[in-house]
Amino acid sequence: MIGRMRLEALQWSVVVNYLILAVLILVSHGLGFFYILAHNMFTLLLVFIARMRWLMYRNTRQTLTL
């Protein structure tokens, strides 16, 4: 079950990361573009960790209510 949750969190974070990157590429130019690319390296990991924590919290809460 943890493997399924990790896969779901990774897939979700990749999609969110590319959506954020696409929007920011359209609205940035110059040196700001470099900063966006530098921060983009960490966005995928941060979104993955946040989503995984949320899934674990939700799973724990559902398990405790049973």
The structure's pTM equals 0.80
- Residues 47-60 have pLDDT tens digits of 999 999 999 999 99
Q: CA-CA distances (angstroms) from residue 14 to 18, 30, 51, 55, 66?
A: 6, 25, 11, 16, 32
pLDDT at residue 17 in the model: 94
pLDDT reported for residue 48: 96
Please say whether the beta carbons of 20 and 37 come within 8 A: no
Question: DSSP state, 3?
Answer: H
Q: pLDDT tens digits, residue range 4-47?
A: 999 999 999 999 999 999 999 899 888 888 888 899 989 999 99
Residue 65: what pLDDT? 83
Report how far residue 17's alpha carbon sits from residue 10's, in angstroms, rounded to the nearest whole number.
10
